[in-house]
Chains A and B, each alone.
Chain A
Amino acid sequence: MKQRKNWILLMLTLIVVLIISACSSDGGKDTSQGTTDGSTTDVPQAIVVRVNDDPDFLDPHKATASISYQMILNIFEGLMAPETDGSLKEGLAESYEISEDGLTYTFKIRSGVKFHNGEDVTVEDIQYSFDRLMGKNGGEKMSNNFDNVASTEAPDASTFVITLKEPNSNFLYSLTARQSAIVPKSNDGKHNENPIGTGPFAYVKYSPGTNLALTKNENYWKEGLPYLDKVTFAFQSDDQAAIMSLMANEVDLTSVPWQRVSEVEGSHTLSHQNNNSSLIVTFNETKAPFDNVKVRQAMNYAISKSDIIDSVFAGYAVPLGSNMSPAMGDYQKMGLEKMYAQDVEKAKALLAQAGYPDGFKTKITVSSHNDMYSNIAQIVVANLKEIGVDVEIEVVEWGIWLDRVYFGRDYQMTTIDLTGRASAYEILNDYISTNDGENFFLFKNDEYDQIMTDVLKETDQAKQIAYYQRAQEILAEQSAAVYIADYQIVWGSDKQVTGLKSYPFWFHDMSEVKFSN
Chain B
Amino acid sequence: MMYIIRRFMLLITTILLVSMITFGVFQILPGDPVRTMLGTEADPTQIENLRSELGLDRPLYEQYSDWMKGLLTGELGNSIRFSMPVKDLLFDRLPVTMSLAGLTLIIVLTVSLPLGMFAARRQNKLIDVSLSTVTQIGMAVPSFWLGMMLILYVGMQFSFFKISGYIPWSQSVSGALSTLILPALTIAIPQIAVNFRYVRTAILEQIQLDYVRTIRSKGMSERNVMYKHVLKNSMIPILTVFGLIMAEVVAGTIIVEQVFSLPGIGQLLITAISNRDFPLVQGIVMYITVAVVVINFIVDILYSVLDPRIRLR
Residues of chain A whose beta carbon lies under 8 Å from any beta carbon of chain B: 2-4, 6-7, 10, 14, 18, 21-22, 24-25, 27-28, 54, 56-57, 62, 64-66, 140-144, 192, 207-210, 234, 236-238, 240-242, 244-245, 247-248, 250-251, 369, 397-400, 402-404, 406-407, 416, 418-419, 437-438
Q: Which of A142, A406, A407 contacts B45 (CB 8 A)?
A: A142
A21 touches B160 (CB 8 A): yes
A contact residues around B159 at 8 Å (CB): 27-28, 248
Inter-chain contact B158/A2, CB cutoff 8 Å: no
CB-defined A-B contacts under 8 Å, sample of 15: A2-B222, A6-B114, A208-B84, A208-B268, A234-B164, A236-B164, A244-B152, A245-B164, A248-B163, A248-B164, A250-B165, A398-B274, A399-B30, A402-B32, A402-B36
Residue B223 lies at the interface, judged by CB distance under 8 Å to chain A:
yes
Contact B163 A250 (CB under 8 A): yes
Chain B residues contacting A242 (CB-CB under 8 Å) are 164
Q: Chain B residues with Cβ under 8 A from A251's Cβ?
A: 164
- B178: Cβ under 8 A from any A Cβ: yes
The total of Cβ contacts below 8 Å across the A-B interface reads 164
User: In the assembled complex, which residues on chain B have CB atoms less than 8 Å from the CB atom of A398?
Assistant: 36, 274
Q: Which residues of B contact A64 (CB under 8 A)?
A: 38-39, 41-43, 46
Contact between A209 and B267, CB atoms less than 8 A apart:
yes
Q: List residues of chain A with CB within 8 A of the CB of B243.
A: none
Is B279's CB within 8 Å of the partner chain A? no
A24 to B176, CA, bound (A): 13
The residue on A at minimum CB distance from B35 is A402
A25 touches B175 (CB 8 A): yes
A68's closest neighbor in chain B, by CB?
A: B39
Contacts of B166 in A (CB 8 A): 210
Q: Are B271 and A238 in contact (CB under 8 A)?
A: no
- Residue B81 interfacial (CB < 8 Å): yes
CB-based contact A140/B45 at 8 Å: yes
**What's the least CB distance linking B19 to chain A, in Å?**
23
Q: Assess the B162–A248 pair: CB atoms within 8 A.
A: yes
Asked whether any CB of chain A lies closer than 8 Å to the CB of B252, the reply is: no
- Nearest A residue to B160, CB-CB: A22
Chain A binder among B9-17, B68-76, B258-266, B297-305: B258-266
Q: With contacts A2-B222, A3-B117, A402-B32 known, is A397 near B274, CB below 8 A? A: yes
B31 near A21 with CB under 8 A, answer: no
Nearest-CB distance from B74 to chain A (Å)? 20
* Contact mask for chain B residues 89-106; partner A; CB cutoff 8 A; 1 contact, 0 none: 100110000000000000
The answer to whether B44 touches A437 (Cβ under 8 A) is yes
Q: Does B275 contact A (CB under 8 A)?
A: yes
B163 CB to closest chain A CB (Å) equals 5
With a CB–CB cut-off of 8 A, which chain A residues contact B46? 62, 64, 142-143
User: Is the C-beta of B276 less than 8 angstroms from some C-beta in chain A?
Assistant: yes
Interface string of B281-313 (1 = CB under 8 A from A): 000000000000000000000000000000000
Are A209 and B268 in touch, CB under 8 angstroms?
Answer: yes
Given contacts A140-B45, A208-B268, A244-B151, 18 further A-B contacts (CB under 8 A): A56-B81, A66-B39, A143-B46, A208-B89, A209-B267, A210-B165, A241-B260, A244-B163, A245-B261, A248-B155, A250-B162, A250-B165, A251-B164, A399-B275, A402-B35, A402-B40, A419-B41, A438-B40
Query: Considering only CB atoms, which chain A residue lies closest to B33 in the complex?
Result: A399
* Cβ contact within 8 Å between A2 and B258: no
User: Once the chains are docked, how many angstroms separate the CA of A74 from the CA of B254?
Assistant: 33
Tell me the minimal C-beta distance from A193 to chain B in angstroms.
9
Q: Which residues of B contact A22 (CB under 8 A)?
A: 158, 160, 174
> Is B118's beta carbon under 8 Å from chain A?
yes
Contact code string B230-271 (vs A, CB < 8 Å = 1, else 0): 000000000000000000000000000011110100011001
Q: How far is the CA of A418 from the CA of B110 in the complex (A)?
A: 53
Is there an interface contact between A54 and B39, defined as CB atoms closer than 8 Å? no
A140 to B45, CA, bound (A): 9
169-190 of chain B: CB within 8 A of chain A? 172-175, 177-178, 181
B49 interface contact, C-beta 8 A? yes
Is B82 an interface residue, CB under 8 A from the partner?
yes
